[in-house]
A = this chain, B = another copy of it.
Amino acid sequence: MVEDRKLAVLRAIVEDYVATQEPVGSKALVERHRLGVSPATVRNDMASLEDEGFITQPHTSAGRIPTDKGYRLFVDRLTQVKPLSVAEKRAITTLLQGAVDLDDVVQRSVRLLAQLTRQVAIVQYPTLSRSTVRHIELVTLASTRLLLVLILSTGRVEQRVVELPEPLDDENVARIRTALNRATSGERLSDAADRLAEVPEQYPSDERVPVAIVVAALMEAMSDHRSDERVMVGGTANLARFGDGFDASIKPMLEALEEHVVLLKLLGEASSPSKLTVRIGHEVPYQELSTTSVVATGYGPGEEALATLGIVGPTRMDYPGTMATVRAVARYVSKILDEG
């Protein structure tokens, strides 16, 4: 009973603080929310909440603000699912509908997330390692120059140019292409690399050299983790709204946004699209970002999480709304990938 009201008070504090960004006092609280008790009672509850570490006061004789622990309790127990508005839903469908290729999907998702949440959005490109080989193409550029094109199930295209020690006629190129595709088509990248390694052995030793060169380049392209780490960032202009805690939080944020490795770590392991990860303040794996929170989730075709997407913002953010949006976008992107 009393515990219930204390939680209601905490919720009210979080909501008010998020809305106004100002410490909230007992009087303002009973005015804005129908708590049905007097300010004095609220004060007692607040003192208790402070003892337990859920709220704190920036200085004596100021209102209270939630601590990280307070936000944590809020998202864990006080957040009921907030349905998206019709306008938001429409924005999501119409904007993602028009995407033409993978790059475009990622880019539109970033924009969408940034606009709807008014935070900095991050979308990781679908990971290479879990995708499969759709096709390998060899193109003769010059007599001793070959362009390799590796097309993956996610729509990603990797390309490499190799120099051969001696010319290779079109017929041979075609034969090698067929062999490569037979060996790898439909395989997961990790398996494909193994199969690829076996291909040169099928050739007599005097023909083996060019095949080995091509295979080596392809394997290199497959294991190239540079692409694994690709992310797209958007909505950085929203950083300007951080306003007050500027120096303390915007600089490390800008630095983090430059380092894609850092962003990937922020997003964390790809979780199932139905499960959201929320990291609050000090729970974020970087000390300099201890005034920011991350809301992220996995996405990908068919419930399998190929990559992660989410937003980063000040700990003081609208968690229910943000969480609903992130989840909705992830679901919809997954659906698009499923169809494409």
For this chain, the copies found in one complex come to: 2
1/0 contact string of A131-148 vs chain B (CB within 8 Å): 000110101010000010
Interface residues on A, range: 20 to 34
Q: Take A139-B137, A157-B149, A246-B246 as given contacts and tell me if A240 and B258 are in contact as well, using a CB distance cutoff of 8 Å.
A: no
Q: Which of A136-195 contact B (CB under 8 A)?
A: 137, 139, 141, 147, 149, 151, 157, 159-160
The reply on A324 being an interface residue by CB < 8 A is no
Q: A236-B257, A254-B240 are in contact. Are A141 and B135 (CB under 8 A)?
A: yes
- A228-253 interface with B by 8 A CB criterion: 234-237, 239-240, 246-247, 250-251
Q: Does A4 contact B (CB under 8 A)?
A: no
A339 proximal to B (CB < 8 A):
no
| Chain B residue at smallest Cβ distance from A107 | B226
A240: chain B residues at CB < 8 Å are 247, 250-251, 254-255
Q: Look across to chain B and name the residue whose beta carbon is closest to the beta carbon of A259.
A: B237
- Across the interface, which residues of B come within 8 angstroms of A137, CB to CB? 137, 139, 149
A73 to B251, CA, bound (A): 33
Sample 9 A-B pairs with CB under 8 A, ordered by A number.
Answer: A101-B160, A135-B141, A149-B157, A234-B258, A236-B236, A237-B251, A237-B258, A240-B251, A240-B254
**A binding-site residues for B, Cβ under 8 Å:** 101, 134-135, 137, 139, 141, 147, 149, 151, 157, 159-160, 234-237, 239-240, 246-247, 250-251, 254-255, 257-258
Q: Which 9 A-B pairs have the closest CB atoms?
A: A240-B251, A237-B254, A237-B255, A236-B254, A237-B258, A135-B139, A240-B254, A157-B159, A137-B137
